[in-house]
Amino acid sequence: MHAFDYVVLFFSFVYAGAIMHLLATAAEIIIAGKRVRRSWLNAGWMLTALLGTSSWWIGMWDLRGQASWAMGMICLFFCVACGFYLLSRLVSPRIEAGADVDLVAFHVENGRKYIAVFAALCVAAIAVNTLLGAAVGVGQWVEQNVAIIPMLAAAILAAIFVRKTWLQFACLAVVLAMWGWYFSPLQGALKG
């Protein structure tokens, strides 16, 4: 087994857990149906968590040429994977059986926490792209940072002004637009 395969298999369990948590919560919201006061903001940040988790998991492919993995690099990428699990858990409300669920209130009460974690993960992405991008030959690390920097700025604003609904929607629109750009031309095909 190649070092890359071994390390990515380890991270994959954490990323898969994060995605599973998001999907399970989405299913619980659908099942709860009329008992749920839906929030487009919370749904948008759940989608953001899913896209962020997926982008890091897919982005690991760029490191397939690494012949060896230093313990510091393994720890860094494991911490990022754990950060995405934490984000997925924080953005996903508990759906109690038989109880009414107010996702608008959930976002107001908890939005700052999960948006701040997303902002921290954006900082990690910018740092990893900058420090490792050129070193390991990831060709689009500058362009990826150009997509991530507006996400970071929008997340910081959204975390600060969590009670300003119009600003929340504007910030979320910026984040989702940048994800659209990130996944269309910047996330190349997996080859090899």
- pLDDT tens digits, one per residue of 74-117: 899 999 999 999 999 999 999 988 889 999 999 999 999 999 99
What is the b/e burial string over 4-34, where b = at least 16 CB atoms within 10 angstroms of the residue's CB? Answer: beebbeebeebbebbbebbeebeebbeebee
Q: Give 158-180 as a DSSP string.
A: HHHTTT-HHHHHHHHHHHHHHHH
Over residues 7-42, the pLDDT tens digits come to: 888 899 999 999 999 999 999 999 998 999 999 999
Give yes or no for residue 185 having a pLDDT over 80. Answer: no
Q: Does pTM surpass 0.85? A: yes
Task: State how far the alpha carbon of 179 is from the alpha carbons of 1, 28, 94, 100, 106, in Å.
Answer: 33, 25, 26, 32, 24
Q: Looking at residue 48, what is its pLDDT?
A: 98
Q: Looking at residue 63, what is its pLDDT?
A: 78
In whole numbers, what is the pLDDT of the chain averaged over residues? 90
Q: Looking at residue 134, what is its pLDDT?
A: 66
Give the tokens for residue 56. 């890091």
Sequence-ordered strand ranges (E) for 63-144: 101-102
Task: State how far the alpha carbon of 178 is from the alpha carbons of 52, 103, 112, 147, in Å.
Answer: 11, 25, 20, 5
